[in-house]
């Protein structure tokens, strides 16, 4: 049937249809566009497919199919969502197809993705952290061919991915979050076009883990009506300030706090003066004593 004859058929069909229905056009019978950006993520033996499609498109949904090792396609699901999760067997080669279905039951061309289902690497070992002046550094051990995704959860929030692409390094540096409990997950992946995310190792960094270094080189100077104290500022970006102590008669007591590395004390003179740096929960060891 030629395109002209087919068009005349549609016109005749529209004239005999219910008056309330919008007349059919040739465009109504054109296949819809194929889904875009079809991607696959393996998490152990679960495969997650994702794709995009214009929200304004008039379609009924998507037909998801698969075939194994070059065999025929078989239907997995018909869905209105833009994702689908299914199980796979390691060692198999899969091809997945996603097609849009129009309101006139016409299917789009296939969006295809192929993958080899490879077993994921084991969880990393020896996960540890070190808090620096301006960062938190994670480090771990793992087998040679693995790459890694790093996830972070702050407090009761959901996990967020910190690595836009998997990293090869066995370490990762993050900005400090000293006021909350932060949980990190290191998830190993098989390298390749469809990496498989395996079991993870996780670790918590708590506010009480942020312990500053002791303040250095305190100097005490006797003034007319006060004792002036100065010391080197601490290098940590996350300290809350300083606490000043005085020792008299073998008794050490706090005499004040300050946000800057200096302090004036107008109480009784004499004794020794020491300083600590304040973290979110804990303070540093006391500095060396200074005598006016």
Query: Residue 201 is part of which domain span?
Result: 125-209
Percent of the chain with pLDDT over 70: 90
Condensed to tens digits (0 to 9), the pLDDT of residues 235-291 reads 999 999 999 999 988 899 999 999 999 999 999 888 999 999 999 999 999 999 999
Q: Answer left, alpha or beta for residue 213, where phi above 0 means left and psi between -120 and 50 means alpha.
A: beta
pLDDT at 27: 66
Quick check: is 243 in a domain?
yes
Task: Look at residues 209, 226, 241 and tell me which one is the last residue of a structural domain.
Answer: 209
Condensed to tens digits (0 to 9), the pLDDT of residues 111-124 reads 999 988 888 889 99
Question: Do 251 and 179 belong together in one domain?
Answer: no
CA distances from 120 to 154, 196, 228 (A): 27, 5, 62
Question: Do 112 and 165 belong together in one domain?
Answer: no
Question: Do 55 and 101 belong together in one domain?
Answer: yes
Quick check: is 268 in a domain?
yes
Quick check: is 72 in a domain?
yes
Question: Do 143 and 205 belong together in one domain?
Answer: yes
How many whole angstroms separate alpha carbon 186 and alpha carbon 188?
A: 7
Supply the CATH number for residue 244's domain.
2.60.40.10
Question: Do 197 and 134 belong together in one domain?
Answer: yes
CA distances from 159 to 47, 169, 173, 198, 267 (A): 19, 21, 17, 16, 51
Number of domains comprising the chain: 3
Task: Look at residues 95, 116, 137 and tell me which one is the last residue of a structural domain.
Answer: 116
Question: Do 155 and 193 belong together in one domain?
Answer: yes
* Per-residue burial over 3-16, b = 16 or more CB atoms within 10 Å of its CB, e = otherwise: eeeeeeeeeeeeee
Question: Do 224 and 249 belong together in one domain?
Answer: yes
Question: Do 110 and 36 belong together in one domain?
Answer: yes
Pairing status of strand 216-222 against strand 182-189:
unpaired
């Amino acid at each position: 049937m030629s395109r002209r004859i087919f068009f005349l058929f549609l016109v005749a069909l529209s004239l005999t249809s219910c008056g309330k229905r919008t007349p059919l056009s040739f465009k109504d019978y054109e296949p819809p566009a194929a889904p875009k950006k079809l991607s696959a993520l393996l998490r152990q033996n679960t495969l997650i497919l994702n794709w995009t499609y214009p929200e304004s498109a008039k379609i009924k949904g998507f037909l998801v199919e698969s075939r194994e090792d070059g065999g025929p396609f078989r239907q997995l699901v018909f869905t209105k969502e833009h994702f689908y999760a299914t199980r796979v067997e390691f060692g198999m080669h899969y091809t997945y197809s996603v097609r849009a279905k129009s309101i006139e039951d016409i299917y789009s061309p296939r969006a295809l993705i192929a993958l080899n289902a490879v077993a994921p690497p084991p969880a990393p070992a020896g996960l540890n952290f070190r808090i620096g002046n301006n960062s938190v550094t994670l480090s771990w051990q793992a087998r040679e061919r693995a790459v890694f995704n790093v996830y972070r959860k702050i407090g009761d929030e959901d996990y967020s991915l910190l690595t836009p692409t998997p990293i090869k390094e066995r370490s990762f540096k993050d900005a400090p979050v000293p006021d909350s409990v932060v949980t990190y997950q290191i998830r190993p992946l098989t390298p390749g076009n469809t990496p498989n995310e395996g079991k993870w190792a996780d670790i918590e960094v708590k506010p009480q883990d942020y312990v500053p270094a002791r303040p250095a080189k305190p100097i005490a100077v006797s003034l007319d009506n006060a004792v002036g104290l100065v010391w080197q500022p601490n290098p940590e970006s996350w300290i809350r300030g300083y606490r000043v102590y005085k020792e008299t008669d073998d008794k050490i007591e706090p005499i004040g706090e300050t946000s800057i590395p200096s302090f004036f004390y107008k109480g009784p003179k004499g004794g020794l003066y020491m300083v600590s740096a304040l973290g979110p929960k804990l303070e540093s060891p006391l500095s060396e004593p200074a005598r006016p």
